[in-house]
Structure formats: C-alpha cells, structure tokens
C-alpha cells in the first residue's frame, strides 16, 4: 500500500521534567505508533523506524517498509533502565554497570527477554537488544507512546543508513506515514551492540561506543568471531547481511594517497567514471572524476558522522565505481571499517 509520507519538523525539545509540554509533531507520531503504525524519528546515531515492539502488526510494517529479512532481529528502544527491566528476565551486574556508564547513548545490550515483546522483534531468539537513546526527540517519543519502540535504521535494507530526514524520504517515501525531522544525527554510526557473558563483554557490532571506552568499565572486552561468519543466525543487526552499500560498487584501497591514486588511475584507464571518498587533506588530489570529503583524517568522529551522507552522494548515473582508503582499526576506526567493509566489494592492495 502506498502511503502519503508527511515530514514534520520538531522544534526545540525541552526536558519533560521541567516542562510537561510535548511538541505537536511528537504527539502526532506517538498517536500513529499507538495505533500500530510506524514512524521515522531521529536518534543520536542514525534515524530509526519506530513501531510498538509489543505489536506484531507494527513489526510486520517495519520489515515491509524496509524490505528487511525477517531473521534479522530488531533493537528495542526504551526510556530508562527501569523500563528495560520490564522486558528482561535478568540484568546482570556488569550489564547494569554498562547502562550506568553509557545510557542514554549509542550502546545496545543483548539480554534475555521475558516474552512480553513481539516474537517478530527477536527473530525467534531468547534474547533482545535494548538501548536507551540520548536524542531528546527519541526519548520524548518513547515517553509519549508509552511503548517500547522497535527501531532499526529507517532506510531500505542494504542502503546506507540515514542521518538526515531527507535520506529517509529518499528511501521510504510512500512506505511510511510520517517522518519526524530533528536535524542531522550527531554520531552518524549505529550503536555498539554487546552481550554480557559472565564477566566478559562480547562486542557483536562495533559502533558509537568504542572498545577502548568499554574497557574503562570492564577489563575483559572481546570481539565476537561470529561477526564475520555469514551462515550463522545473527544475534545482532549488522552481523549477517550486506549493509550500507551505495548505488555504485565501492572498493577499499589499503594504504595512503598514492595507493588511492593508483587504483583510480587504473580504473580510469579501463574507461570507468570514478568517484572517491577522501579526507580533507586529500581533496583535489585523488584524480577521481568526483570527490566527496569525509573530514580530517585524524578526526574519526567527523568521518563517522559524515560517512553515510557521503556514500549517498554518489549516484549510478554519475560514476561507475567508487574508491576510498582504509582507516586504522582502533577507537572509532573499528566501527568505520566495519561499515565500509560491509558496504564494499572488497579491499584492494596496492604496490604504491
């Protein structure tokens, strides 16, 4: 069914503890969600596509709008630690310590659920990923609906995640009734997903909270080796399917500017129209037909914030092939490389 998609801008959101008023756009969105509909809304990571996590019909609408495989579990957004306890059998001490350190914020914690959520949310697993977002619009929307919100990124499955309302409209216009426009996302990469196993923090998806930050809470932080095993049932979004892909083939080039220039030159000799994602320091130097900058090479937070916007800049009618360099795998670079690897056709090594 084709819907009329309305974009509603949200004014300045104030703390509900001080001012009980709610923006009319948020009230309208909450009413739609309570009625079983789905609404796109801003979080500090990317825009989410929210529906009542206890309503099977709403969850089916999320999957249908995105074209998302039904075996890919959804993250559930809550308004507080106390609300998280309403949907879980147990919250271990270490999980509570992570909540105290990083909630509200870009951290999703996998916990055993108690059966009160729609089974479609969990894809048949006995666990669910819970997150308390930091964005004031997201938090007011959750509070106004009075429901936990299942909310994957609000893009067509496989496409770059949206960091602006315009990106959502590009992908989901006519598929959902409403988009709450709260401006650009501040982080630009999805949340880190972790599972607590005994005294170990297992990272299932790198994201806005880095390994180094997690290690300030727990000395035992490891990355799940299943992250790269496609045949296993995913315990977290981002573990199985191709994600984040631009409209044209993307290749990662290992090395510095000379390596990137060599890869682009070889593609141009084959007659390809080339595009490049470059850092500010390399702008105008790659030799590509089109360039989009990500920010300064040393500013990984800026690169993470700009990555999905930049991937959406390139259209198939303008370039045939897209290149970018690799980044260090520590700090936020781990999440950036995870997204680029899943978006790309592979890594090219160069003699340059």
CA distance 321 to 248: 6
Please tell me whether 9 is known to bind a ligand: no
Annotated binding-site residue? 68: yes
Q: How many CA atoms lie within 13 A of 218 on its CB side?
A: 25
What are the 10-residue block averages of pLDDT along the chain, 352 residues in total? 82 56 92 98 98 97 92 93 95 97 98 96 94 96 96 94 96 97 94 96 96 97 76 51 80 95 96 97 96 95 96 88 93 94 78 56
Q: What is the pLDDT of residue 269?
A: 96
16 is in an annotated binding site: no
Is 72 known to sit in a ligand binding site? yes
Domains in the chain: ranges and CATH: 6-228 (3.90.870.10), 250-348 (3.40.50.11030)
The model carries a pTM of 0.91
List of residues 6+ apart from 70 with CB closer than 8 A: 63, 120, 123
CB atoms under 10 Å from CB of 324, counted, come to 25
pLDDT score of 127 = 96
Q: d(Cα 113, Cα 254) in Å, to the nearest integer? A: 42
Give the separation between CA 310 and CA 343, rounded to whole angstroms: 13
The annotation status of 161 as a binding-site residue, yes or no, is yes
Torsion of CA 73, 74, 78, 81, to 10 degrees: 30
Is position 241 annotated in a ligand binding site? no
**Which helix (DSSP H) or strand (DSSP E) does residue 258 occupy?**
helix 257-269
- Order of all β-strands in the sheet with 290-293: 290-293, 274-278, 321-325, 250-253, 347-348
| Beta strand extents in 132-197 (DSSP E only) | 149-150, 178-181, 192-197
Structure tokens at 265: 């030159």
According to the annotation, is 89 in a ligand binding site?
no
- For the beta sheet containing 149-150, the strands, ordered from the edge strand earlier in sequence to the opposite edge, are 6-9, 178-181, 39-41, 48-52, 149-150, 75-77, 127-131, 107-112, 192-197, 200-205, 221-223
Burial 233-262 (b: 16+ CB within 10 A, else e): ebbbbbbbeebbbbbbbbbbbebebebbbb
The answer to whether the annotation marks 244 as part of a ligand binding site is yes
61 is in an annotated binding site: no
What is the dihedral sign for C-alpha 46, 49, 52, 53? negative
Q: What is the spatial distance between Cα 237 and Cα 158, in angstroms, rounded to a whole number?
A: 12
341 annotated among ligand-binding-site residues: no
- Rounded to whole angstroms, the Cα distance separating 184 from 63 reads 24
């Amino acid at each position: 069914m084709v819907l009329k998609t309305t974009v509603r801008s949200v004014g300045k959101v104030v703390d509900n503890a001080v001012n009980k008023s709610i923006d009319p756009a948020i009230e309208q969105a909450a009413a739609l969600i309570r009625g079983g509909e789905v609404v796109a809304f801003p979080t500090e990571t990317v825009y989410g596509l929210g529906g009542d996590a206890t309503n099977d019909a709403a969850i089916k609408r999320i999957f249908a709008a995105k074209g998302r495989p039904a075996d890919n579990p959804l993250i559930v957004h809550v308004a507080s630690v106390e609300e998280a306890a309403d949907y879980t059998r147990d919250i271990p001490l270490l999980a509570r310590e992570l909540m105290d350190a990083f909630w509200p914020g870009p951290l999703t914690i996998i916990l055993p659920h108690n059966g009160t959520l729609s089974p479609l949310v969990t894809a048949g697993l006995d666990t669910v990923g819970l997150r308390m977002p930091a964005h004031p619009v997201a938090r007011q929307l959750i509070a106004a609906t009075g429901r936990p919100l299942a909310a994957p990124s609000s893009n067509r499955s496989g496409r770059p995640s949206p960091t602006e309302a315009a990106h959502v409209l590009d992908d989901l216009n006519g598929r959902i009734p409403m988009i709450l426009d709260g401006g650009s996302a501040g982080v630009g990469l999805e949340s880190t997903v972790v599972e607590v196993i005994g005294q170990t923090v297992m990272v299932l998806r790198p994201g806005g909270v880095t390994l180094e930050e997690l290690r300030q809470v727990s000395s035992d932080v490891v990355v799940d080796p299943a992250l790269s095993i496609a045949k296993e049932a995913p315990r977290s979004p981002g573990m199985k399917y191709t994600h984040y892909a631009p409209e044209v083939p993307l290749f990662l080039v290992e090395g510095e500017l000379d390596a990137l220039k060599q890869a682009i030159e070889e593609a141009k000799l084959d007659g390809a129209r080339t595009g490049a994602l470059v850092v500010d320091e390399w702008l105008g130097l790659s030799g590509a037909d089109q360039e989009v900058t990500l920010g300064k090479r040393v500013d990984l937070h800026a690169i993470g914030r700009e990555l999905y916007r930049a991937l959406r800049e390139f259209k198939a009618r303008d370039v045939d092939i897209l290149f970018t360099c690799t980044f260090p795998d520590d700090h936020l670079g781990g999440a950036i490389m995870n997204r680029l690897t899943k978006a790309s056709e592979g890594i090219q090594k160069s003699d340059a």
